[in-house]
Structure 1
Amino acid sequence: MELFAVPNLPEVRPGDDVGALLRDRADLRNDDVVCVASTVVSKAEGRSVDLASFPAGPRARELADTLAEHAAGDPDPRFVQAVLEESVEVLMETPFLLTETRFGHVGVNAGIDRSNVPEGDVLLLPERPGDSAARIRESLPADRVVVTDTCGRPFRHGQRGVAIGWDGLQPSRDWRGETDRDGRELGVTVENVVDELAAAANLVAGEGDGGTPAVVVRGFEWGDHAGSDEHFREIGTDYVRQAIRGWSYA
């Protein structure tokens, strides 16, 4: 398997066809996996916005005051309002906002970005990243597309690439029912393939002003394994989320 960045992508503007931009700059094969950073997807979909679009309500001002007591800096209540409007649940209120987005991703500040936003104050995540991946795939000879983002992970330091949308493949490879080297049947192993592809792509894409927003994974083979549509954990089996709901910051 090999990975390479798509070169010479221009600054993406609202209305741009991301798939066409990629197709014109990479010699793609039908079995490639194209990993695209959510930043360029959001820019093409007009998700760069000014904070003036989010006048702060009472709840946002209350949360901003609480954050100011426990976090560095002075949070803008309008930014907090944007986080609330992009979320279906606030899991943690301090020392930072940990929320669930409308499409099921759990992350800090609903994944809203303040970096690399030339046409607004903030950049929101795509509204429906799975649909975004499907639209990009329509413009490509490649059969599989993953929309990626970066975020932290419990019990680990630093950020890594994750998948927030995909099309043309199932998110997870299901090993249950297969056997290990000693012939024992696997009972719980479900491998999150789209997250692994996103993390591998992020190693090639890089970060900051030297980063590239699209990476092609060539030679990845699913193999003779069942697939699973599971990706975002269901609340009933998400024991970490249940614990966080009962936790308070001290």
Structure 2
Amino acid sequence: MKVFAVPDLPEFEPDDSISDLVAERIDLRPDDVVCVASTVVSKVEDRVADLSAFPAGPRAREVAARLERATGEEKDPRFAQAVLEESTDLLMEAPFLLTETRFGHVTVNAGIDRSNVPGGDLLLLPRRPDESAARIEAGLDADRVIVTDTCGRPFRHGQRGVAIGWAGTPAARDWRGEHDRDGRELGVTVQAIVDELAAAANLVAGEGAGGTPVVVVRDFDFGDHAGSDALFRDVEGDFVRQALRGWSFDVD
């Protein structure tokens, strides 16, 4: 398997065609997987916003005040308002905001970025990343597209690449019912392929000012396995989320 960045891409702007800009720079194969950073998807979908677009309501002011008490740092209630508007569930209010986005991804601050945002204060995640991936895929010779983001991980330091939207591939490779080398049947193994490909792409894409936002994974073979699109856990089966509902950070 080969993983390489698409070279010489410009700064993306609203209404740019990611598909066209990629296709002009590289000859893709049908079985390539094209991994696109959510930042550039958000830019072409005009998801740049100013803080002034989010006048803080009472709930946002309450959330910001609680964060200030927890961290000792000044917090802008307008940012809290933006997070609330981009979320369907607020899992933690302190010492940081852990939220569920409107498309089911659990992340800090609803994935809102405040770096590399030309022309605004905030960069919001794409509204519907699966649809974004499908639009990009429709304009490419490659059949598989993943929209990626970076986020922290429970129980570990550091961030890694994850998938927030995908098209042309199942999210997971289901090994249940297959057998290990000793003949034992696998009962729980479901491999989150889109996350693993996103992480591989992130190694090449890099971070900060030198980042390259589109990466191609070539010669990845899904294999003869069942597929699944279940990536985001339902609340009923997410015991960590259920535990968080009964827990609060003491800031008093």
TM-score range, shorter chain: over 0.9
Quote the offset at 1:26 in angstroms. Answer: 1.4
Q: TM-score, normalised by structure 2?
A: 0.98
Percent of counterpart pairs with the same letter?
71
Residues 1-250 of structure 1 aligned to structure 2 (within 5 Å): 1-250=1-250
Q: Once structures 1 and 2 are overlaid, which stretch shifts more, 67-76 or 15-24?
A: 67-76
Quote the offset at 1:20 in angstroms. Answer: 0.9
SS in 1 for 2:99: strand
The residue type paired with residue 80 of structure 2 is: V
The residue type paired with residue 63 of structure 1 is: V
The residue type paired with residue 186 of structure 2 is: L
Quote the offset at 1:34 in angstroms. Answer: 0.2
Question: Runs of 4+ in structure 1 displaced over 6 angstroms?
Answer: none
The residue type paired with residue 29 of structure 1 is: R
SS in 2 for 1:162: strand
The residue type paired with residue 53 of structure 1 is: A
The residue type paired with residue 171 of structure 1 is: A
How many residues align structurally? 250
For the aligned residues, what is the CA RMSD? Answer: 0.6
Q: Output the CA distance in 2 between the equivalents of 1:159 and 1:135.
A: 27
The residue type paired with residue 182 of structure 1 is: D
Quote the offset at 1:121 in angstroms. Answer: 0.4
Q: Which runs of 5+ in 1 are unaligned?
A: none
Q: Output the CA distance in 1 between the equivalents of 2:228 and 2:125.
A: 25
Q: Output the CA distance in 1 between the equivalents of 2:25 and 2:240.
A: 42
Quote the offset at 1:229 in angstroms. Answer: 1.4
Quote the offset at 1:70 in angstroms. Answer: 1.1
Q: Once structures 1 and 2 are overlaid, which stretch shifts more, 82-91 or 70-79?
A: 70-79
Q: Output the CA distance in 2 between the equivalents of 1:81 and 1:33.
A: 36
Q: Which runs of 5+ in 2 are unaligned?
A: none
SS in 2 for 1:40: helix
